[in-house]
Amino acid sequence: MSRIRAFTMPKWGIEMTEGTVAEWMVREGDAFTRGQTLCLIETAKITNEVEAEYDATLRRILVSGGSEAEPVGALLAVFDEGQHSDDEIEAFIAAFVPAEGGVAQGAAKTKAAVPEPVGAAVGAPGRVRVPIETNRPISPEALRLAEEEGVDIAGIEGTGRQGRITHQDVIKALRGPARPTLKGRLAVPEDDPKVFASPLARRIAALHEIALSGVAGTGPRGRISKADVLALVPAPASSGSLAVPAFVAGENRPEIVPFDRIRKVVAQRLTQAKQEIPHFYLRLSARADVLLELRKSANLVLGCKASVNDWIVKACAMALVRHPEVNVQVHGTDIYRFPHADVSIAVAGPQGLVTPVVRQADRMRIDQLAAETRRLIDKAQGRGLGMEDMEGGTFSVSNLGMFGIENFDAIINPPQGAILAVGAAQRQPVEAAGGGVAFETRIALTLSLDHRAIDGAAGAQFLQTLKTLIEEPQGLFA
């Protein structure tokens, strides 16, 4: 059946209220098929590829790529499954009303993007925007700047994803290459072989343009020494050392890097969490020598590459099941307790920190957990995480030990009630049974807790169980 369809800002997850169209992969007027990628949409944490659910034609784009954020439910484009006229498309847009329920405030205020006339004045008076036709990947803002400034993008090497030319690349091309001003070689007078002087005295004399031919040396056999030359230096040298040339500070211009969307959301959420959640911290360290040895053997037997962090996540999951009062989410004045542990792991992705979730980690074998963690990390680093990978989570683990950080305090990831900060494994001296000194490997653990929902005693008992599981890792196979 032939009909006109509205393409609106999708809603991925309960907390999503708006999104940004990063880039359109289909041009206005092009036909597309089911499964073809239509556009990239950025949310608070992820960039998702939107695939077509049916065959149609993209008749009108109302929100161009790189525009401001639009609320959920806002009209982004119009698809045509038939051969409708332009008047019918315009009438459909004019009559469009966002669906009720789950639509962010302001969705009804969707505005059609008005294309700028080619050759019209843009910005400063007299500036003409010259259109650039290219098949190279380039961001909308970068293309706009290149057209306004008349930049030839053929010689620009894109630094974005898959060689995409970014706004910063165009700005760099506008500045041009650095051209340092060379002052030439330093003129040094030739040594007079008849002058009997020490090498240091000759260097000081050349620096201050002092002729040594008329200087009377006070050194052995009339040799001109450092002191003889310094006595002739015009600037006073009370300490008998070389005068230090004055330091002139050059320009220290900062590179302004505005927050991207993900960084803005992370900053907002962490600030809110630190201000509104009463954090308190519990610290201890656990012996890891047995765990490190068991890890090597288990990896060989199971044929996996489980990291130390995988074993810690497994230990946390099992400890959370034994202490459900820590395995919680806080929603207003309600505490949600969960029977299984969905552990969020902190991953540094290309666009900032993300926390994908390992579902029911307490029920996984260590090889299964390692495979799932690797899958999530690969998706995070390739910007392929979806909302299904991010939603939920009853507890978080943040590990900076691989960077040599001994210990740190992590900020709770709401609505979760706790997060574990893992430091580096370090060799430390301890008292041996016979009164001597021995060395063992210890890992520092810091537990951040939401005091509204979790008491200190409950957190301490959880940490004791976690410590036992790390120091006696055979229990992780129970």
Catalytic residue among 323, 331, 340, 451: 451
- Cα separation, 117 vs 111, in Å, equals 18
- Cα separation, 144 vs 16, in Å, equals 29
Strands (E), 289-417: 328-331, 334-337, 343-345, 347-349, 352-354, 357-358, 395-399
- In sequence order, the 6+-apart residues with CB closer than 8 A to the CB of 48 are 12, 40, 41, 386, 387
The phi, psi pair for 389, rounded to 5°, reads: -85, -15
The phi, psi pair for 59, rounded to 5°, reads: -90, -35
Token pair listed for 428: 């430390």
Catalytic site includes residue 451? yes
Give me the DSSP letters along 317-352.
HHHHHH-TTTSEEEETTEEEE-SS--EEE-EEETTE
Strand partners, 329: 336, 416
- Cα separation, 52 vs 34, in Å, equals 5
Residue pair 429/461 in contact (Cβ under 8 Å)? The answer is: no
Phi-psi region of 57 (alpha: psi -120 to 50; beta: other; left: phi over 0): beta
Residues with catalytic annotation?
Answer: 451
